[in-house]
Amino acid sequence: MAIDPVLLTQELVRCPSVTPVDAGAQAVMTAALEQMNFTVHRLIFGTETPNPVHNFFAHLSRQGSTVLNSAAHSSPLADSSINGEEGAAKIGPRLCFMGHTDVVPTGRLSDWTTPPFDAAIEGDRLIGRGSADMKGANAAFVAAVSRFLLRYPDWNGTISLAITGDEEGVAAHGTVKIVEWMRDHDHIPDAALVGEPSNPQFMGQIVRVGRRGSWCGKLIVEGKQGHSAYPELADNPAHKIVTLLHQLLQQKFDNGTEFFKPSDVVVTSIDIGNEATNVIPARAQALINIRFNDHWTGPSLEQHVRSIFDETKIPYELYGWCNAESFMTNDAMWRKLVADAVQEVSQIRPVFDTGGGTSDARFIAPYCPVVEYGLINATIHQINECVFLNDLETLTQTYFVILKKFFSVGD
């Protein structure tokens, strides 16, 4: 019997897996997968920390109706991806679904119309923390696989899932570590599908084919403290840091690229720590975040920021770090396959997009083509996060069609 995506979503939401706590959410998924003969590798990383992270990698390989244990395969997409391996046994393509079972905190419980982990159904909606981001997509993919295996028992290739409990947190012991494990154990797929909620308003709207990078900087300007009545005896760092930030914000970094909007500069904090109105402070600092497109890398962007500051001749200190590099999936075959499946089910041709924040897709992007397609993101991280029941069915059917097209089976 095929798995019901609504019931599985409810079961997952009822696990209060606020990052990095697992609360049984991964066991719900692995139990369903093991019933379908998936081999499950439970991967716990960060055991040296107070909060080890639970992850898993599950895979099922078949040649015709025969379940295989080997993970060494090649793929029709191998010629257009960087992970094709000469000499590998040619039994079919490898597709990996990637997702997370952790969720953000609920906020004030009294603000919810129903308890956030009850997974209550009200009318045409399922309400609960993580229902849209992204336990609903996890359930939809597992349900789609169950339909696929029942309908097409003689497919060739490998289906895998890489699921983390550390996407909403610091992401240090989650997907980045799973991908390293996959690489070391020859489980890198020919293509990856991330189930992040990609659609702003309705299903079929957007397939994410890349993401902007995120660079952060801490800007510090030193001065000399003094009395505000005698500014000539002090050196005011507040005035200088305003000049530096103004110079940065006046710059147009780029005009964007084919799939990316222009890079954005945002000042997220200006901190002087001075509550006295008659004291010139000794130090001022600011935090900067730049979401950048594929015109830049983290190092080249930081070099450009420094050159802008240098033009002012104002002494400063800058500590920069890159949370994520930008990436773009240039594999037209994989992009088209997913877009065709979305259009077939939703009757809408999706737009290729690279908006939003960072995602775990960045960790697999160096190894294979990756796109993101999931539910509607209008309520994610909000009070009364929810998913429409029809959307769960639409996503399940879309994933089913993606499986059909990827493994070249069908009526």
Please write the tens of the pLDDT for every residue from 184-220: 999 999 999 999 999 999 999 999 999 999 999 999 9
Q: What is the CATH number of the domain that holds 288?
A: 3.30.70.360
Q: What is the CATH number of the domain that holds 110?
A: 3.40.630.10
Contact 278, 229 (CB under 8 A): yes
Choose one of 324, 342, 376: the last residue of a domain.
Answer: 324
Identify whether residues 131 and 255 lie together within a single domain.
no
Print the domain residue range for 53: 5-211+326-406
Per-residue confidence (pLDDT) for residue 69, from 0 to 100: 58
C-alpha of 296 from chain center: 20
196 an active-site residue?
A: no
Regions in the chain scoring below 50 on pLDDT:
70-90
Contact 140, 195 (CB under 8 A): yes
Identify whether residues 165 and 82 lie together within a single domain.
yes
Q: How far apart are CA 22 and CA 164, in angstroms?
A: 10
Contact 408, 355 (CB under 8 A): no
Question: Does residue 31 lie within any of the structural domains?
Answer: yes
Identify whether residues 20 and 81 lie together within a single domain.
yes
Identify whether residues 187 and 236 lie together within a single domain.
no
275 an active-site residue?
A: no
Q: How far apart are CA 362 and CA 57, in angstroms?
A: 18
Q: Of these residues, 22, 102, 166, 372, which one is catalytic?
A: 102
Residues in the chain: 411
Q: Of these residues, 167, 190, 325, 360, which one is catalytic?
A: 167
**Count: domains in the chain:** 2
Question: Does residue 81 lie within any of the structural domains?
Answer: yes
- Give the bridge partners for 122, in sequence order: 125
Question: Does residue 411 lie within any of the structural domains?
Answer: no
Identify whether residues 109 and 257 lie together within a single domain.
no
Identify whether residues 64 and 205 lie together within a single domain.
yes
Per-residue confidence (pLDDT) for residue 258, from 0 to 100: 86
Identify whether residues 331 and 320 lie together within a single domain.
no
Identify whether residues 316 and 265 lie together within a single domain.
yes
Contacts 24+ apart (CB under 8 A), 339-345: 339/207, 340/405, 341/398, 341/401, 341/402, 341/404, 341/405, 342/204, 342/207, 342/373, 342/398, 343/204, 344/401, 345/204, 345/394, 345/397, 345/398, 345/401
Angle at 37 between CA 83 and CA 406, to 5 degrees: 40
Question: Does residue 339 lie within any of the structural domains?
Answer: yes
- Give the bridge partners for 218, in sequence order: 287, 319
Question: Does residue 349 lie within any of the structural domains?
Answer: yes
Identify whether residues 82 and 191 lie together within a single domain.
yes
Question: Does residue 289 lie within any of the structural domains?
Answer: yes
Identify whether residues 241 and 388 lie together within a single domain.
no
Question: Does residue 161 lie within any of the structural domains?
Answer: yes
Beta strands 317-324 and 213-222 are antiparallel
Per-residue confidence (pLDDT) for residue 129, from 0 to 100: 98
3-state secondary structure the chain: CCCCHHHHHHHHHCCCCECCCCCCHHHHHHHHHHHCCCEEEEEEECCCCCCCEEEEEEEEEEECCEEECCCCCCCCCHHHCCCCCCCCCCCCCEEEEEEECCECCCCCHHHCCCCCCCCEEECCEEECCCHHHHHHHHHHHHHHHHHHHHHCCCCEEEEEEEEECCCCCCCCCCHHHHHHHHHHCCCCCCEEEECCCCECCCCCCEEECEECEEEEEEEEEECECEECCCHHHCECHHHHHHHHHHHHHCCCCCCCCCCCCCCEEEEEEEECCCCCCCEECCEEEEEEEEEECCCCCHHHHHHHHHHHHHCCCCCCEEEEEEEECCEECCCHHHHHHHHHHHHHHHCCCCEEECCCCCCCHHHHCCCCCEEECCCECCCCCCCCCEEEHHHHHHHHHHHHHHHHHHCCCCC
Choose one of 273, 301, 324: the last residue of a domain.
Answer: 324
Identify whether residues 297 and 176 lie together within a single domain.
no
Identify whether residues 264 and 297 lie together within a single domain.
yes
Choose one of 276, 303, 324: the last residue of a domain.
Answer: 324
Question: Does residue 371 lie within any of the structural domains?
Answer: yes
